């Protein structure tokens, strides 16, 4: 009976040693961040280590819904839509998609940045990898 235990103990020790070696190898050259990881790290560095998200209008949204989203967002407390008015930093490009995205993002931010604050009857989209800002218009994060 003892001869049967020794091979099992030896096998378990060998497996533990192999796993230990594999874990050590995993911390070497192959653990460098991938390009996607580096993008995420850069985004977090830009915004003081917080995960950054914005709310924009879905590209497939019809003009009437975009108008409603602008009206709703700009009518809420804490949302200043002067930048999308003529002469404002975010007036150009002068189109509903751009103006609605800016207004929706302001509402999303002022309301707490919860996923439901970007619903807009299924016309809102939360993005995190690409800042939707175009100079001189900067979307607050």
Per-residue pLDDT tens listing for the chain (141 residues): 444 556 776 666 666 666 665 554 444 444 444 554 444 445 444 544 567 999 999 999 999 999 999 999 999 999 999 999 999 999 999 999 999 999 999 999 999 999 999 999 999 999 998 888 888 998 888
pLDDT at 47: 46
pLDDT at 13: 67
104 C-beta neighbours (distance < 10 Å), count: 30
List of long-range contacts for 99-103, beta carbons under 8 Å, 24+ apart: 99/66, 99/70, 100/57, 100/61, 100/66, 100/67, 100/69, 100/70, 100/73, 101/55, 101/56, 101/57, 101/132, 101/139, 102/137, 102/139, 103/69, 103/70, 103/73, 103/74, 103/79
Question: Beta partners for 125?
Answer: 56
pLDDT at 21: 56
Q: Which two tokens stand for residue 125?
A: 């989209």
pTM attached to this predicted model: 0.65
* Cβ neighbours of residue 53 closer than 8 Å, sequence gap 6 or more: 113, 126, 127, 128, 141
Q: Which of 83, 72, 78, 50 is nearest to 119 (CA)?
A: 72
CA distance 99 to 81: 9
Q: Which two tokens stand for residue 69?
A: 């989203």
pLDDT at 15: 62
């Amino acid at each position: 009976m003892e001869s049967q235990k020794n091979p099992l103990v030896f096998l378990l020790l060998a497996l533990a040693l192999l796993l230990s070696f594999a874990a050590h190898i995993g911390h070497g050259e192959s653990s460098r961040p991938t390009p996607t990881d580096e993008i995420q790290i850069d985004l977090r560095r830009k915004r003081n280590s917080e995960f950054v998200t914005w709310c924009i209008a879905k590209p497939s949204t019809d003009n009437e819904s975009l108008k409603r989203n602008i009206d709703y967002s700009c009518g809420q407390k804490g949302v200043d839509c002067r930048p999308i008015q003529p002469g404002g930093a975010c007036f150009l490009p002068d189109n509903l998609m751009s103006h609605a995205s800016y207004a929706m993002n302001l509402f999303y931010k002022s309301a707490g940045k919860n996923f439901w604050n970007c619903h807009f009857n299924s016309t809102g989209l939360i993005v995190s990898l690409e800042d939707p800002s175009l100079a001189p218009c900067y979307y607050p994060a």
